[in-house]
Chains A and B, each alone.
Chain A
Amino acid sequence: MTDSKSPPQSGYEGSPDYQQHLSKVMADYDHPTGLIGELVAQLADAFWWINVYRRDKEQIVIAQMTKILTDASVYVSRDEARWLETAEALSALVAGRGLENDAANLIEDLMVQGQHNLASLRSEAVSRVLTKIDTLDRLIDRQFKNIKLLMQAIESARFAPELHKKLQLEVEQLELQIQKAHEDQRLEVDRQ
């Protein structure tokens, strides 16, 4: 389990990006420790996965678009460097960024070979990975539900001391009421 003051760990907890994200969420909650610290760390993880799944939704479409184009091209399909170059160019194109001459020529050649334009390529790619996009949407939805439940758990733990005090006061008040009722009863008996 993670504590904001724990030493750097290996694996995902040691990754600088993850650490930065975790620190940011911890700071938003005033750096809690102990039980609340662990709850907030798990909440931060849910936020982390939303970002990952959103990025992957875009990435899987770009990768599929690249696959469609490179499968149609003999000279790129087994060349990983060209594959990456194509994926980067497509990513820039989809994001509406301009392409340099080499990249633009590469994409144009591949589009012609595969008889595609950007819209038809994207729609074919989306149709091929539709089930996976649906799964990613379900995973994102799950994270939102997790966030809601974990926030409720954090609220419960945060207000546990106040609730505990309130319950104690209620018990004391009830005891006093009973004592008073007994006293009143005793006085009434005495009077009679």
Chain B
Amino acid sequence: MKISVSKLIANRSNALKSTGPRSEVGKRRSAVNSKKHGLNSLLMSADSEVGEEFSLLVSDAIRLGYSEQDARAVVATLQLGRAVIDAKHHAYQDKPESEKVEALTRPEWIRSVRDTQIPESQMRESDIRWVGNVMFKQGQQDHDPVSQLVVKIEEHRKLMRYEQRAVNQIRKAARIKK
């Protein structure tokens, strides 16, 4: 189901009145709103991930002949590598149909915004045009296979440096120290 313009405008208008989260849970949740993939923090502290799987892999590494310290290091770098892989696959997923903006023409969008705005939003003509333009551009992008592919490629280009660091760290950590 595509989001209607009136709902979109009402949501935006209500959001502008908001003073932010009040509960502790809400504050914690909104603190990570801008977090994209968390790879930077993983790169900063490569041994922060601890879990059952981590312990199993560390035991396996020790069985192979790594010291406990080296085993922990190599497994931590592998987890970083896996996080990068997850981020890459996530970035390459197609946008769900329900989240796509309808492909109307620019005048159709502007008319639609004008016709469906709620009185509380008190939008000026310039705002209506701006919202109409934004919706038009998004609609075009959501229905243009070239743009969709370009977005995916760009996301992977941005992830490339994390990928490089992760794999270099894996190689370095996997070496047996004499």
Query: Mostly helix, strand, loop or mixed at chain A's interface?
Result: helix
Report if A139-B64 is in contact (Cβ < 8 Å); known contacts: A60-B149, A153-B170: no
Task: Tell me how far the C-beta of B170 lies from the nearest C-beta in chain A, rounded to whole angstroms.
Answer: 5
Give the residues in chain B near A33, CB-CB below 8 Å: 60
B88 interface residue per 8 A CB criterion: yes
Residues of A1-24 at the interface with B, using a CB-CB cut-off of 8 Å, are 1, 11-12
Give the residues in chain A near B150, CB-CB below 8 Å: 60, 129, 132
Give the residues in chain B near A160, CB-CB below 8 Å: 64-66, 176
A13, B82: Cα distance in complex, Å: 12
A34 touches B57 (CB 8 A): yes
B176 touches A156 (CB 8 A): yes
Query: Mostly helix, strand, loop or mixed at chain B's interface?
Result: helix
Give the residues in chain A near B74, CB-CB below 8 Å: 35, 157
A49 touches B175 (CB 8 A): no
Residues of B86-103 at the interface with A, using a CB-CB cut-off of 8 Å, are 88-89, 92, 103
Bitwise, B143-176 to A at CB < 8 A (1) or not (0) is: 1111001101110110010011001101100111
Task: Tell me how far the C-beta of A79 lies from the nearest C-beta in chain B, rounded to whole angstroms.
Answer: 11
B78 touches A42 (CB 8 A): yes
B79 touches A1 (CB 8 A): yes
* Interface-lining segment among A89-97, A107-115, A144-152: A144-152
B68 interface residue per 8 A CB criterion: no
Taking residues whose C-beta sits less than 8 angstroms from the other chain, chain B's interface range is 35 or more
Bitwise, A143-180 to B at CB < 8 A (1) or not (0) is: 00110011011101100110111010000000000000
Taking residues whose C-beta sits less than 8 angstroms from the other chain, chain A's interface range is 35 or more
A156 touches B175 (CB 8 A): yes
Residues of B134-150 at the interface with A, using a CB-CB cut-off of 8 Å, are 143-146, 149-150
Give the residues in chain A near B154, CB-CB below 8 Å: 135
Give the residues in chain A near B56, CB-CB below 8 Å: 34
A136 interface residue per 8 A CB criterion: yes
B160 touches A35 (CB 8 A): no
A145, B154: Cα distance in complex, Å: 20
B82 touches A1 (CB 8 A): yes
Give the residues in chain A near B82, CB-CB below 8 Å: 1, 38, 42
Report A's interface with B, CB cutoff 8 A. Answer: 1, 11-12, 33-36, 38-39, 42, 45, 49, 52, 56, 59-60, 63-64, 66-67, 78, 80, 83, 87, 129, 132, 135-136, 138-139, 142, 145-146, 149-150, 152-154, 156-157, 160-161, 163-165, 167
